[in-house]
Amino acid sequence: MKHGTLDQEEDVTETSSADEGDPDPFVPPATRHPVNRPDPAMVRILDDQGRLTPHPDFPVELSDEDLVKALEMMVMVRRLDVEGTALQRHGELGLWPPHMGQEATQAGAWLALGDGDQVFPTYREQGLAHAMGVSVADILDSWSGKAHCAWDTVATHFSAYPVMIGSGTLHAVGYAMGIQRDVESGSARAAVLDFHGDGAMSEGDTNEAYVFAASMNAPVVFVCVNNQWAISEPTTVQSPTSLFRRAIGFGIPAVQVDGNDVVAMTAVLRAALDHARSGKGPVFVEAWTYRMGAHTTTDDPTRYRTADEEAIWGKTDPILRLQTYLQDRGDIDQEWLDGLAEREEAFGAEVRAAVHENPTPVMAELMSDVYAEPTPDVLADAEEISSWGEDN
Ligand SMILES: Cc1ncc(C[n+]2csc(CCOP(=O)(O)OP(=O)(O)O)c2C)c(N)n1
Ligand SMILES: [Mg+2]
């Protein structure tokens, strides 16, 4: 089967119905909404030609300055990705998970989040991490192995990367339930923005998180970043029906949005976060996008997907369409773009320098933040690690 693109005419698989002469007494699944094409109701405001059409259900106030800021952020986010990949190739990082192509999902979140909201990311939300105040050095430490999580998750409102797929969804819902209780005792309203991938929807943890969120009316917005692939597994082997329609079965209101459209991402996430903050419970947002690069620096996507598929998605680039829109409106010109290119170069140099910024950790201190008060097991492990010596 061909894999998902933005082309509505794409070949699709419809789950076949039973024998025509023997009417099926069951309510059918949403077979008219297969997973490998965008839903007819997908929210899109800025199309891939850079033309903007307001959406009646998702009005959004975004000034031209906001959009110029978003373009700059997305260009820097992509540069961080290019540098991260190069640093891994130079042996400075153990691993790097590219986010190229997914910049608008992160910029849209950045423009939508409120001050008190907490983000539970996947390992691909590096750009959002930086925009929320996590230093480049601290981001890189996670991938060089210097730290489990080098940043202050409370001060930045950006939680640690989960490596176990789906595990972050339960943390997110638990945190949201905590916010719910804080609000009951007088704290300001806030919400949780939880990111997970299309593949994570096949995990038990994720499905348990949906059940808790729906039953507890937790103030959480799930953003399923549907980048069409879970390493080498396409969404078609994970679900016969559209991902956001599955959330409805859990009792969670849901929407699919063009994840390469930063305006639609902002509009939908602002509405979803407002909904969650105001006590109306969880929302599920499927961001329809594409992982332009490899799964991680250990992966070779040419083994499982075609250059044609990559070329089709290349035309939907989230940065290009925003740049086209802003240039057509005269908000930016070549002079501004030349300045941006210079700022991007400077940022690239900053990223390369940042990999050496934080000191190499002392092995024995690895266990110091496992619990507030170390247990006998933790103390024994710390002692054992110390006995290895710093050279090991
Ligand atoms: C519980 C668990 N099972 C398997 C893996 C191996 N693994 C790492 S990434 C990944 C795919 C995740 O795909 P998706 O949720 O779509 O996120 P994406 O990488 O596309 O952003 C898998 C299976 C893991 N890390 N954790
Ligand atoms: Mg994926």
Give dist(CA 314, CA 49) in Å, integer: 12
Ligand 1 centre from 231 Cα, in Å? Answer: 7
373 is a domain residue:
no
Choice from 231, 233, 296 to test ligand 1 binding pocket (greatest atom count within 8 A of CB): 231
Ligand 1 pocket check for 163: Cβ under 6 Å: yes
Task: Tell me which residue range forms the domain holding 111.
Answer: 46-367
Our count of domains for the chain comes to 1
Structure tokens at 314: 């290349």
> Tokens 């016969």 belong to which residue?
240
72 is a domain residue:
yes
Contact 109, 126 (CB under 8 A): no
51 is a domain residue:
yes
Predicted confidence band of residue 26 (pLDDT cuts 50, 70, 90) = confident
Give dist(CA 64, CA 74) in Å, integer: 15
Predicted confidence band of residue 15 (pLDDT cuts 50, 70, 90) = very low
Ligand 1 centre from 126 Cα, in Å? Answer: 16
Ligand 1 pocket check for 165: Cβ under 6 Å: yes
36 is a domain residue:
no
28 is a domain residue:
no
Give dist(CA 37, CA 240) in Å, integer: 11
Atom of ligand 1 nearest to the CA of 165: 26
pTM of the complete model: 0.93
Give dist(CA 69, CA 56) in Å, integer: 25
pLDDT tens-place string over residues 333-392:
999 999 999 999 999 999 999 999 998 888 777 788 889 999 999 999 988 888 887 554
202 is a domain residue:
yes
298 is a domain residue:
yes
218 is a domain residue:
yes
CA distances, 253 to each of 111, 126, 170, 195 (Å): 22, 28, 18, 16
SS (H, E, C) 61-126: CCCHHHHHHHHHHHHHHHHHHHHHHHHHHCCCCCCCCCCCCCHHHHHHHHHHCCCCCEEECCCCCH
Give dist(CA 239, CA 317) in Å, integer: 25
Q: What CATH number is associated with residue 326?
A: 3.40.50.970
pLDDT tens-place string over residues 58-84:
999 999 999 999 999 999 999 999 999
